[in-house]
Amino acid sequence: MTQRIKIADLTDFDAAPYLDNEVAIAAYLTDILDANDPALLAAALGDIARARGMSEIAKASGLTREALYKALRPDAKPRYDTIAKVCGALGVRLVAQAIHP
């Protein structure tokens, strides 16, 4: 007999420990951008910022640490300029790509 696992018993997944190099970060962001969900993008940038050090990213982006946490929470809808500042601080850029049918 197979044992059933309750969803409530599962731990939350944290991507931050796996985002330890630029290739992993780029692949993660590419997958997130494919989902076309602004809140998911904000949360992913938050994961990357935590992996790199939130205080360091806040300083490099010109935002306060508190504002950064607020802007990058999963239910946030950050403005484009905030996303651009965070991407610049993380050393990444978002790239447009043609969609082929």
Q: Which residues of the chain have pLDDT under 70?
A: 1, 101
Fold of 21-90: 434 Repressor (Amino-terminal Domain) (1.10.260)
- Answer for the pair 85, 62: CB distance below 8 angstroms, yes or no: yes
pLDDT at 63: 95
Q: What is the DSSP string of 36-63?
A: T-HHHHHHHHHHHHHHH-HHHHHHHHT-
pLDDT of residue 54: 93
Domain residue ranges in the chain: 21-90
pTM: 0.80
**What pLDDT, on the 0 to 100 scale, is given for residue 1?**
65
